[in-house]
Amino acid sequence: MLREYHKWHSKNLDREMELLTFGHGGARVIVFPTQSGRFYDWEDRQMIQVLSRHIENGWIQLHCVDSVDPESWDNGGVDPRQRASRHLQYQDYIINEVLPFTQTKNDNPFVMAIGASFGAYHSVSIGLRFPQFFNRIVAMSGIYEIRPWTGGYDDELVCQGNPYEYIRGINDDAQLEALRKLDLIIAIGQDDPAFQENEQFSKFLWERGVWHAFRVWDGWAHDWPYWQEMIQQYIGGPESKD
> What is the CA 29 to chain-centroid distance, rounded?
10
Domain span at 144 = 3-234
Query: Whats the size of the chain, residue-wise?
Result: 242
Q: 0.85 cut: is pTM over it? A: yes
The whole-number pLDDT of residue 236 equals 79
- Whether residue 200 has pLDDT greater than 90: yes
Tens of pLDDT, residue by residue over 133-183, are 999 999 999 999 999 999 999 999 999 999 999 999 999 999 999 999 999
Residue 170: inside a domain: yes
CA dist list (Å): 182 to 40, 134, 168? 27, 7, 17
How confident is residue 242, by pLDDT bands cut at 50, 70 and 90?
very low
What's the chain's average pLDDT?
Answer: 96
Domain count for the chain, please give it: 1
Residue 70: inside a domain: yes
CA dist list (Å): 159 to 73, 80, 107, 125? 13, 11, 33, 10
Residue 240: inside a domain: no
- Whether residue 238 has pLDDT greater than 80: no
Tens of pLDDT, residue by residue over 25-81, are 999 999 999 999 999 999 999 999 999 999 999 999 999 999 999 999 999 999 999
CATH number, residue 75:
3.40.50.1820
Residue 242: inside a domain: no
* DSSP class of 154: -
Residue 230: inside a domain: yes
Residue 59: inside a domain: yes
